[in-house]
Amino acid sequence: MAQPSATREDLLTRVRFYRDLGLTEFYRRPVDPELLALLAARPVEAPSVPFLPTNLLEDQLGPPLQAVHGSSEIAVAVEPTDRAAALQLIRDEIGECTRCALHAGRNKLVFGDGSPNARLMFVGEGPGADEDAQGLPFVGKAGQLLNNMIAAMGLKREEVYIANVVKCRPPGNRVPEQEEGATCSPFLFRQIDVIRPQVLVALGATAATWLLGARQPLAGLRGRVHAFRGMQLIVTYHPAYLLRDPRQKKEAWADLQIAMKELGLKPPAKS
């Protein structure tokens, strides 16, 4: 039998390490031939987390691993110049999606917005009424507050990327059901894999739950850096919650300062 390549051996070691930790669930997705062709055309040099289609692992690791959360998924490494095209392929694959019940009340699907090369990415729960009307994430009052938070970090909105766990508005802005999140979140993970921001900020408990793969109280997740598939993940309050309880803005700012430290950012000087 042929010896595994160094990259494959590294990958197998990593997967065994995850299994030793008890992480046996892997998000599975169909391999997109167009995306693979795109990647093959521009081979990535020494990616921090190598991409291999999951089926390449099965002969070495035994039976297929089952779906779900992103924390143990093998990530895609994409050349910066290809990221916009790779995101478009994901958008094309979503199409006029009817994969879950949320499509029934949707006006506009909200894919995501911002720079494909962002070093910082925000992840929220799902579109609200304004987002559903415009097809863009965080454009209502909560979006205005998020814009202010981004500006306070010394960044412009167009320099970051913003997406949600589900891409269609849950009725009455309710929390997405388990099945809805499980159906839609793989698209979010693929967006994250393409953008590969240095820092991810989970806005609220729903985003934190789906990204980290475990439901925990927000208080236990805030105030520190979580390792997330070779990236850094910080959890903070959802802007909509901050609008309801502005006293927590100070805590949210402390979380954002952790993100800024990781990114090497300093707040803009006050004029």
Those residues whose C-beta lies under 8 Å from the C-beta of residue 102, and which sit 6 or more positions away, are 126, 166, 168, 169, 170, 176, 180, 184
Strands (E), 81-223: 113-114, 120-124, 161-164, 199-203
Shortest Cβ 72–ligand SF4 spacing (Å): 22
Query: Total number of residues binding ligand SF4 (CB under 6 A)?
Result: 14
Interatomic CA distance for residues 116 and 234, integer angstroms: 20
Nearer to ligand SF4, 127 or 252 (CB): 127
Residue with structure tokens 């924390």? 71
Determine which residue in the list 52, 61, 89, 97 makes contact with ligand SF4, applying CB under 6 A.
97
Cα angle 173, 114, 255; round to 5 = 70
* Min CB(210)–ligand SF4 separation in Å: 12
Range 101-120, binding ligand SF4 (CB under 6 A): 102-103, 109
Helix, strand, coil fractions of the chain, as percent rounded to 5: 50, 10, 40
Q: State phi, psi for 164 to the nearest 5 degrees.
A: -130, 165
69 binds ligand SF4 (CB under 6 A): no
CB closer to ligand SF4 out of 100 and 153: 100
Binding mask 153-192 for ligand SF4 (x = CB under 6 A): -------------xxx-----------x--xx--------
- Which residues of this chain interact with ligand SF4, rule CB under 6 A? 94, 97-100, 102-103, 109, 166-168, 180, 183-184
